[in-house]
Amino acid sequence: MCKHILNAQVAIRSPCCRKWFDCAECHHEQESHPLMQTFEMVFACKKCKKCFRKDAQEFEESDEYCPHCDNHFVIDAKTPKAALTVESEDVRKDSRMIKDDRVREKERRTIFDPTDEADKLG
């Protein structure tokens, strides 16, 4: 897994050493030589595990998808960020962590509830 791009959908084959990397930063960290630039890129889709080639000179919007499974592999890169969260049980089972007890819900009224209508003559 790539630690630079959280949701890397493809692996890219480097033209210089012919090894697979998730991004150019991963190549820079693992290899001692610079990454060779080329226009023909070889990708391996992580969803269907099939390889395909793309020409970077003629890259169009339809080229942002895997030709085998239509997985959209050109997505916004998100870098990991530190965050503080409260870990608890699954909220679908126990929602006490997200429920706010300070705000009470009004009791449901029925037609038989005389509290508001007791003072009116009708």
Structural domain count of the chain: 1
**How far is it between the farthest Cα atoms of the chain?**
91
**Residue 39 within a domain:** yes
**Residue 44 within a domain:** yes
What is the pLDDT at residue 40? 87
**Residue 107 within a domain:** no
pTM of structure? 0.52
Whether 4 and 26 have beta carbons less than 8 Å apart is answered as yes
What is the pLDDT at residue 77? 59
- pLDDT tens digits, residue range 2-59? 777 777 788 889 988 889 998 888 888 888 998 888 888 898 988 888 999 888 787 7
Its domain, for residue 16, covers 10-72
- pLDDT tens digits, residue range 82-112? 877 766 667 666 666 666 666 666 666 666 6
The residues, ordered by sequence, that sit 6+ positions from 43 with a Cβ below 8 Å of its Cβ are: 10, 11, 12, 13, 51, 52, 53, 54, 66, 73
